[in-house]
Amino acid sequence: MATFFGEVLSVYSRAVEEDDEDPEQDEEDEQIRRELEEKREVHLRWSPEVSELLKSGNKLPCREFILAVGHNAAKFLSVYVLTSANWDTLGHASVWNERSRAVTGQSSEESACVFYRHKENPTVMICQVTCYVAEDQLFQWTEKVFDCLQHRELSVTVLSDSSVADYKTADYLCTSSAPFLRSLHTGTFSGQPVCQSLEQPNIITGLPAAVLNHCQVQRIATVVYQCYSDVIGPDSVSMETFKPALTKLAKSIQLNSSPNTDILRKMVKTTDIQSNLYI
């Protein structure tokens, strides 16, 4: 488009990208595309016991599935729930995309998306997702994970992080009101959310949205609690905001309502400094 000063700028649309759909594609291009698609596939790697169960055509019996997406949500579960050491690691999901960073030593893929099951109450499962799941992988991740779970009487709780900058409201929020929770639930969820429902025109995107879409269509009772925080990176106040979300399940997951401050401090270490522009 031409500007007032006579320069020509290329304009982009917030809605569409121009894709040059070339019907006659190079065989080599096709192969590269296929290989890339294969690399981007989501793979679930379960423990031998679970793999055996799934191979024989059964599903994991599951009544409560708690999914934590994002650092605050995941660390909240680590500090308030997983420290009781009553959890078995069931497996992990490996997700590769353009934002995955190669980490020497422990494979970062393994720790980025882990499934746990309660030792005494094996129908309670937890999953922590701290890696970035790309737009084209969200649906796949959700389908593959939920395909392994028994759907009858399944209840899903999703804890997710977001920035308060993404929260739209007519009265501008002063920072003292953050962090706060907002909820969204599927049609079959009959419980009472512990916080306000997400007001228009706000929406949820990413993995929590993919789970909600899947559960709405499959009629699984699901609630998402999104924490809007004004701090970049994990912090203990935002983590604590999630506590009311799990009060109903407190007994079955052995929620530790006052965790050790040492554990908290260890969890909330400063994130790697990538740039010294904003230390």
Partner 1 sequence: MFVPSDNSPPSLEDFTLVMPAVAVGNVGQLAVDLIVSTLNMSRVGFIHTDCLIPMAGNNPYSTCKEDAQELHTPAEVYVAPELKLAVLQIRAPIVQTKSKKFRQLIVSWIKASGFSRTVILSSSHAYQRDDQQMKGTPLRYLATPSLLKASANALKELGWREMERVASFPGLTEANAEPRLCIPGGGITKGLYTDSCSEDLPLAVVLLFCSEGDNIPDAFALVNHLNDWLHLLDDPSQAPNKWKIPTSWNLLFGSGIPPSMF
- 126 Cβ contact list (under 8 Å, min separation 6): 65, 66, 67, 68, 77, 81, 82, 87, 115, 116, 117, 118, 253
* Residue 193 Cβ vs partner 1, minimum distance, rounded to whole Å: 9
Q: Write down the least CB distance from residue 112 to partner 1, Å.
A: 19
Are the beta carbons of 173 and 201 closer than 8 angstroms? no
For partner 1, the binding residues (CB under 8 A) are 1-2, 11, 13-19, 21, 33, 37, 135-136, 138-140, 142-143, 167-174, 184-187, 197-206, 208-210, 212-214, 216-217, 224
CB of 241 to partner 1, least distance (A): 20
Nearest CB to partner 1, comparing residues 202 and 236: 202
**Quick one: 102 or 170, whose CB is closer to partner 1?**
170
For residues 90 and 224, which CB has a smaller minimum distance to partner 1 in the complex?
Answer: 224
Q: How far is the CB of 123 from partner 1 (least distance, A)?
A: 25
Take residue 248 and report the two structure tokens written for it: 């109903």
Q: What is the DSSP string of 33-81?
A: HHHHHHHT--EEEE-HHHHHHHHTT--B--SEEEEEESHHHHHHHHHHT
CB 32 to partner 1: min, Å: 13
- Residue 131, token pair as written in the block: 């890696």
Q: Which is nearer to partner 1, 27 or 171 (CB)?
A: 171
Q: What is the nearest approach in angstroms of partner 1 to the Cβ of residue 194?
A: 14
Backbone phi and psi for residue 191, each to the nearest 5 degrees, phi listed first: -75, -175
Closer residue to partner 1, CB minimum distance, 81 or 178: 178
Q: How far is the CB of 163 from partner 1 (least distance, A)?
A: 13
Angle at 36 between CA 46 and CA 136, to 5 degrees: 70
Q: Which is nearer to partner 1, 111 or 197 (CB)?
A: 197
- Gap between the Cα atoms of 160 and 120, Å rounded: 26
> Closest approach of Cβ 174 to partner 1, in Å?
8
Cβ proximity to partner 1: between 208 and 259 the closer is 208
Distance CA 2, CA 6 (A): 6
Which of residues 187 and 244 has its CB atom nearest to partner 1 in the complex?
A: 187
Question: Strands 43-46 and 113-118, how do they pair?
Answer: unpaired
Collect all residues with Cβ–Cβ distance below 8 Å to 269 and sequence separation of at least 6.
none
Q: Which residue has the tokens 């009553």?
A: 86
The Cα 176–Cα 231 span in angstroms is 12
